[in-house]
A and B are shown apart, each in its own frame.
Chain A
Amino acid sequence: MKLSQYLLALVCPIIILSSCKKSTDEVTPDAKSTFSIEFENQVNGSPLVLNTTTYKNAKGEDFKINIFKYYVSNIKLSKADGSSYLLPESYFLIDASKPESTNITLKDVPVGDYTKIEYTIGVDYARNFAGAQTGALDPINGMFWTWNSGYIFVKLEGTSPQSTDKGNALTFHIGGVTDPNNTIRTFATEINAANPLRVRTDGKPNMHFIVNAAALFTGKTDVSFATLNFTMGGANSVIVANNYASGLFRLDHIHN
């Protein structure tokens, strides 16, 4: 008798739960699917063209870009009810010279309606000091400092007539994870609840971000290439990171 009572107690909630699921026509809660993010690199509204096109910074100084690469990592999606999902092992290197790298695919994401996305611009503290890595974090990608362990989070190289450095070079290697020169920044954006990111087994949405490379040089502090044209970590890198923290990415639209 006792046993069957226990059994009933165990079985009951299962019945209730499963009937619940049916009524709301939601897919099984552990179903997973895929979505993608496209990062469209621009400079102040114009497409980013490496090596040839001349752009202007906020101070009106001309510049060209030869290299533009950045890390996006630890992507986290949240629902309207406040629950969230951190994509494990989500490390991506976007390289303006490699078109295939600007469209990333995120697999095994629990289906659902997401109303917020956040991610690290760069690489979290622990991975900077971890052992040999592979994939996006492979030092072969030229984004790892060998003399001062840690990743270059955002790398922009180019030229500007205003630069006083050799060959009028611009060298912005932004990284460093220890105070006072910590450059890890998190970007977060709300997604219009009317058109959330709908991850479905039969729907693989695409998020489209505009990435403005000129955001490195404006925002909190307008940068003049006459005075700041070279940084590899340190206080000047913090100035640049504080600029791009909010200005680098903008969610343009979602194709559901």
Chain B
Amino acid sequence: MYACSKNEEEITPEEKKITFSIPANFPTPAYNFEDNKLTNAGFALGKKLFYEARLSADKSVSCGSCHQQFAAFTQLDHKVSHGVNNCQGKRNTPPLFNLAWQKAFFWDGGVKNIETSPLNAITDACEMGTDIQTIVAFLKNTAPYPDLFKQAFGSTEINSQLILKSITQFTAVLVSGNSKYDKVMRKEGGISFNATEQAGYSLFKEKCTSCHAEPFFTDFSYRSNGLDLVSTDEGRSHITGQAADFGKFRVPTLRNIEYTSPYMHDGRFYSVDEVLEHYNSGVKASANLDVQLKSGISLSSTEKEQIKAFLKTLTDNEFIKNTLYSES
């Protein structure tokens, strides 16, 4: 008997253990799975829910419809999010990675915990257009979900807390830290920047890191970079009620920027060229314009090319192509 079971153990191939790995050049994360133990079954359930279109009102939209892996989990080519019944949201979908280091979510920082960040999409009339009761009822009555919840949490009980915790086991594990930039920083395998990239990196540190700070390429603050004289979207002041926050948005990460077009909170720019030209010549004197941008950031065409070359080193193909994160 003993020998038998031992044999079996040897035969069954070891399933790859899902881990949350912290790149050596990253600081300590804000979310650490302390109250949400990461397991293979929890991750698998979270991923299945992430790609489950039947959760939405017209059964057409899943989290994955707006957060697409090939676009680093943003929505390719959509200025603003596109949800059920062809409804257009008001903001550009942010990419999803390195969320475990974020303390606030959404362009205006309104959401404060990664676990509760899917709730708005689920209930928003324009995103998935449904409510939690409906989702809980659907999952309770749809195989194989009760079994999957049992495997993940040890009970067939299905409630909003377990749904949100399992989705978080998927979204918080999404770590992008294997770009060329990261490898250069970690001095891995003798990889180094070429001359143009190096020149771009120097320019970037001089002109951009005060807001797009390494290693996340954002300092997570809320600022106006002068897109409009008067913003049509309140931005941060919607949350704080402070006039000084009107028209301010979270500084977005620039990791995987090659794949996350269009850009800005309303997706107004389709290319990095347009963005750079904005900093060079388009900055408007909005009431709360960041002081550092009072006279824009002048960039010659050579400098633009150098910065673009550097920004491309932030692309993490291992992340974009990791089948662990794909809809099976």
Contacts and interface: CB of A to CB of B under 8 A. Distances in A.
19 contacts: A128-B112, A129-B112, A131-B36, A131-B114, A132-B115, A132-B116, A132-B163, A134-B160, A134-B161, A138-B159, A138-B160, A140-B132, A140-B136, A146-B122, A146-B124, A147-B120, A148-B239, A149-B116, A178-B240
B119 interface: yes
Interface in A54-104: none
Nearest to B242: A180
B110 interface: yes
Contacts of B110: 147-149
B241 A132 contact: no
A234 interface: yes
Interface in B98-151: 106, 110-116, 119-120, 122-124, 132-133, 136
B165 interface: yes
A179 B163 CA distance: 32
B14 interface: no
A146 B241 contact: no
A150 B116 CA distance: 10
Contacts of A181: 241
A140 to B, nearest CB: 5
B160 to A, nearest CB: 5
A130 B168 CA distance: 13
Chain A to chain B: the 3 pairs with minimum beta-carbon distance, closest first: A132-B164, A131-B115, A149-B112
B35 interface: yes
A139 B241 contact: no
Nearest to B239: A148
Interface of B: 35-36, 106, 110-116, 119-120, 122-124, 132-133, 136, 159-161, 163-165, 168, 238-241
A2 B10 CA distance: 60
B159 A134 contact: yes
A133 B111 contact: no
Nearest to B131: A140
Contacts of B119: 139, 144, 146
Nearest to A134: B161
Nearest to B106: A147
Contacts of A144: 116, 119
Contacts of A180: 241
A138 B114 CA distance: 16
B265 to A, nearest CB: 14
Interface centre among B35, B116, B123, B124 (most CB of A within 10 A): B116
A130 B106 CA distance: 16
A235 B241 contact: yes
B116 A234 contact: no
A234 B241 contact: yes
Given A132-B164, A178-B240, 5 more contacts: A129-B112, A132-B115, A140-B136, A146-B123, A149-B112
A14 B115 CA distance: 49
Interface string A131-173: 1111000111000101111100000000000000000000000
Contacts of A130: 113
